[in-house]
Structure 1
Amino acid sequence: MANSPDVEEPTTEYPAVPGGAEPVPPAEPGAPAESPERRPSFFARLLIFVGVVFALIVASCFGLRALNVLPSFDNPFSDRTVDRSQPVLLQSMRDLHRYVAADGTFQVIVDLQQNRENIPDFLVNRRILFVGSGTVEAYVDFGALTGDALKVDNEKKTIELTLPPPQQSTAALDMAKSYVVEEDRGLLTSIGDAFRSDTDKQQRVYQMAQEKITEAARGSGLDQRAQQNTQLMLESLFTRLGYTSVKVTFTTP
């Protein structure tokens, strides 16, 4: 059949659209392409399941432990202290004839610095600030009494005592109340301490605190307090024994 000259033939460049189908709009420039929906892999789902189960188990254990249903388990990585000290050995024993009539508690701040001349302190320097607390006792030694130190008159109910003057003990540091406030060390000093341990320096600080407290106690009036307390103690003691007159005299040092 011959084509009519008035009807145009379909072009080969643009194929015909089937009847009844809507044309697809062209994609906008720059719009992301649609990707197909991706589901989690089997391994990912397995990890999520294991994590949820583990969290439930841990929460259950803590809950049962809080209710004291489960026994307690010690931390396998906790700190451990082992005491390997040897038994205490008694070295000596002695009888004391002293009467401790008074004691005083003192505190001193020791500021000790050791450095080198012509060398900066940031290289070679050691400065320790130490707070020392110690106790000094004042006592009367009854073991030094002579035969004529005690005069007793049973008829008149009088007694006379001549005692030596009070003495003071060396200060005893209380390590529970003594502590190092600050310790500054130079660079080279710190390096040297890393390879050797010098306990003499720390012992020197303790000794200085002990000496300073002992010296301060000499002029603190502790001897006078000990003398008064000793006299009051002896007067009360012999008065209860029936003596009407008790005279206590202290010799001069």
Structure 2
Amino acid sequence: MARDGDINEPTREFPGYPTGDALASRADVTSDPAPGASRPTGGPARGLLWVLGAAALTVVVLLGVQATGILPDFRNPFAKEQTDRSQPPLLKSIQDLSRYVAAEGNFQVVVDLQNDRRNVPDWLLNERTLFVGAGSIEAYVDFATISDGAVVESADGRSVEIKLPAPQLGKTNLDLESSYVFAEERGLLNRIGDLVGGDPNRQQQVYQLAEERITAAARDSGLTQRAEENTRKMLEGLLRSLGYETVTITYTAP
């Protein structure tokens, strides 16, 4: 049987709750690491790297989703945009034409143009352009230059004679959609000059040379002879339908 004195004694001791002073002292102890222990470093920097990496990954995923067409209705926030700030066209003149276009020739020319300096190596100063130019040129008869008395009808009204000006070649039209620069070589100084202030009309010389080559080729191609034949056939068919049995077409020298 237990003694009376043992009844009022606790069987074990409960841990006491720490007071404010005890908590402060404990925080001081835990905040200072032991000598030789390493502190955790790079917390904010590591978090910033994670944020940037996640943003870059999001951009790549969005671009890939639009490129593959998985979500066709998805609007890419980084889509390419084009702004046209061109001014409205200005009408400068109107001309009344009385030309009969009787033939048209389509040509293609390869221009190999090089601009360099004597006694200077090409790697330092050189401009060489290989340009493929495509263009067309028309051959026409200008009816506006027909003089009085150019049309002579016979007394019986069965024959007619017409004198026409010789066919001419129009201006060469260079097709920029079908023309392209095949190759281009530029020296070191030329490339530096492009970075500082490039010449926007640098290709103009190549275009002009291509037009001159096409015009020369059209003169030697027999295009004007084809225009004469086509004009003659057109007028003969037209006048015969009006009742003329004999139609004579002659061309005067320009």
After TM superposition, the score normalised by the length of structure 1 is 0.70
Distance 1:106 1:220 in 2: 10
Partner of 1:171: 172
Distance 1:87 1:120 in 2: 47
Larger Rg computed on CA atoms = 1
Distance 1:67 1:130 in 2: 41
Partner of 1:79: 80
Distance 1:172 1:122 in 2: 35
Partner of 2:210: 209
Structure with higher helix content: 2
Partner of 2:190: 189
Show structure 2 runs of 5+ residues with no match: 1-60
Instruction: Compute the displacement of 1:230 (Å).
Output: 0.3
Partner of 1:241: 242
Instruction: Compute the displacement of 1:198 (Å).
Output: 1.0
Percent of matched pairs sharing the same residue: 52
Residue correspondence of structure 1 range 40-189 to structure 2 within 5 A:
72-153=73-154, 155-189=156-190
Partner of 1:40: none
Distance 1:110 1:230 in 2: 34
Show structure 1 runs of 5+ residues with no match: 1-57
Instruction: Compute the displacement of 1:153 (Å).
Output: 3.2
2:250 is the counterpart of 1:252: no
Distance 2:152 2:183 in 1: 58
Distance 1:206 1:67 in 2: 44
Tell me the amino acid that sits aligned with residue 213 of structure 2. Answer: K
Tell me the amino acid that sits aligned with residue 165 of structure 2. Answer: P
Distance 1:121 1:237 in 2: 62
Instruction: Compute the displacement of 1:154 (Å).
Output: 6.5
Q: Deviation above 6 Å: which 4+ runs of structure 1? A: none
SS at match of 2:101: strand
Q: CA RMSD in A?
A: 1.9
After TM superposition, the score normalised by the length of structure 2 is 0.70
Change in 2 beyond 3 A, CA 1:131/1:247: same
Tell me the amino acid that sits aligned with residue 209 of structure 1. Answer: A
Distance 2:70 2:217 in 1: 60
Change in 2 beyond 3 A, CA 1:198/1:164: same
Distance 2:247 2:169 in 1: 25
Change in 2 beyond 3 A, CA 1:67/1:222: closer
Instruction: Compute the displacement of 1:127 (Å).
Output: 0.5
SS at match of 1:204: helix
Tell me the amino acid that sits aligned with residue 213 of structure 1. Answer: I
Instruction: Compute the displacement of 1:67 (Å).
Output: 10
